[in-house]
Amino acid sequence: MEAAVETKSLSRVFEPKKKKEGKSVTALDSVDLRIEGGELFGLLGPNGAGKTTLLKILSTLLLPTSGKAYVAGLDVESQFSAIRQKINMVSGGEISGYGLLTVKENLWMFSQFYGIKSKVALQRIDEMLKDFGLSEKKDAKVRTLSTGERQKMNVIRGFITDPDIIFLDEPTLGLDVNASRVIRSYMIDWLKDHPTKTVVLTTHYMVEADELCDRIAIIDNGRILACDTPERLKKMVKMNTTLSMDVTRLKDAAVLGSFSGVENFTFTEDGDKGLTRLRFVMRDESGVSDIISAVLSQGSRIESLQKTEPTLEDVFIKMVGKGLE
């Protein structure tokens, strides 16, 4: 079967505006990716990793610098018109929309650009507004909506055109728990109802990626570091357990990373409470007692201690070398 998305050595370099100012940025670096029809695919990566750049190329907003990208088997460079019939894209955290129109009008207008029959569109709008808990706002002017309501409207705008492949750039960014849940379950239901359609999303939220996605690509510095199901990604770090400790009055956290068995070590200071959060990814547990005595020898007090099995976040930390805070 033809892949929903396929890239071959896809690279994108941004040149500085003026030659003298700054260097060029390699936002995507030889990305090879294959996303199958029917997948809910997640791109996970820190700020500046290249997630948005990839989605922009796939949604025909931006051209590759080199390499190839195909959407529904069509070349983004030369067959963009045909691609546009089949896709839609929504970016979270953006407050776009024609403020003078009502929510219904705004959605209706975009549906018309995709040649959807007016009657069908209006019916779909009603249903989706209901699904998203936005029915009351149907006749409200877009400019009167809250940021989250606008974002929900934009997610509806993406689905209302019935795309084969939808690109969602951080669709739940800044939304409250409830709204995020609505959007997530909508995506899942949508794929259940349309098994050949495809969702490609980017996210910062580990839980979202873990619970939602069929497969995840971890991306950093424009490179795909790993690409697999959440389960298998977690198995890759199977040997590792995580030791988390909240301690007070710690003098020097940095020295704690050098014990045997420590694969990765991060710490954050909670200045208000004088609390330090330590987090060790352990290859094996041989070093645990050494760590604890080292903490205690600094005159520090352990407030809480927790040992956990690997999560997606650990996978991420292992791959990228830092957390997603």
**52 and 200 Cβ atoms separated by less than 8 Å:** no
List the single partner that 45 binds among Mg ion, other proteins, ligand ATP, none, CB under 5 to 8 Å by kind: ligand ATP
Q: Work out whether 259 is an interface residue with ligand ATP (CB under 6 A).
A: no
Choosing from 7, 53, 88, 198, the residue that interacts with ligand ATP (CB under 6 A) is 53
Q: Pattern 83-102, binding to other proteins, x per CB under 8 A?
A: -xx-xxx----xxxxxxxx-
Sheet-wide strand order for 66-71: 25-35, 5-14, 66-71, 74-75
Kindly tell me which of 52 and 59 has the beta carbon lying closer to Mg ion.
52
Tell me the number of residues near ligand ATP by CB under 6 A: 11
User: Which stretch in 43-51, 68-76, 109-117, 243-251 sits in contact with ligand ATP by CB under 6 A?
Assistant: 43-51
User: Token pair of 14, please?
Assistant: 């941004």
Q: If DSSP codes are grouped into helix, strand and coil, which group holds residue 316?
A: helix
Smallest separation, CB 268 to ligand ATP (Å): 20
**8 and 68 Cβ atoms separated by less than 8 Å:** yes
State how far the Cα of 317 lies from the Cα of 324, in Å rounded to an integer. Answer: 8
Q: If DSSP codes are grouped into helix, strand and coil, which group holds residue 155?
A: helix
Q: Work out whether 14 is an interface residue with other proteins (CB under 8 A).
A: yes
Among 304, 319, 324, smallest CA distance to 244 is for 304
User: Token pair of 244, please?
Assistant: 């988390």
Q: Work out whether 203 is an interface residue with Mg ion (CB under 5 A).
A: no
Choosing from 7, 52, 154, 203, the residue that interacts with Mg ion (CB under 5 A) is 52
Q: Work out whether 53 is an interface residue with Mg ion (CB under 5 A).
A: no
List the single partner that 114 binds among Mg ion, other proteins, ligand ATP, none, CB under 5 to 8 Å by kind: other proteins
Q: If DSSP codes are grouped into helix, strand and coil, which group holds residue 162?
A: coil
**165 and 115 Cβ atoms separated by less than 8 Å:** no
Place of tokens 């520090």: 300
List the single partner that 152 binds among Mg ion, other proteins, ligand ATP, none, CB under 5 to 8 Å by kind: none
Q: Pattern 7-26, binding to ligand ATP, x per CB under 6 A?
A: -------x----------x-
User: Token pair of 226, please?
Assistant: 């790993």
Choosing from 10, 27, 76, 213, the residue that interacts with ligand ATP (CB under 6 A) is 27
User: Token pair of 181, please?
Assistant: 């849940």
Residues 106-125 that bind other proteins (CB under 8 A): 109-110, 112-115
CB atoms within 10 A of CB 273: 10
| Axis-axis angle for helices 118-131, 103-113 (nearest 10) | 130
| Chain centre to alpha carbon of residue 3 | 21
Residues 32-91 that bind other proteins (CB under 8 A): 56, 59-63, 81, 84-85, 87-89
Q: Which residues bind other proteins (CB under 8 A)?
A: 14, 56, 59-63, 81, 84-85, 87-89, 94-101, 105, 109-110, 112-115, 157
Q: Which residues bind ligand ATP (CB under 6 A)?
A: 14, 25, 27, 45, 47-53
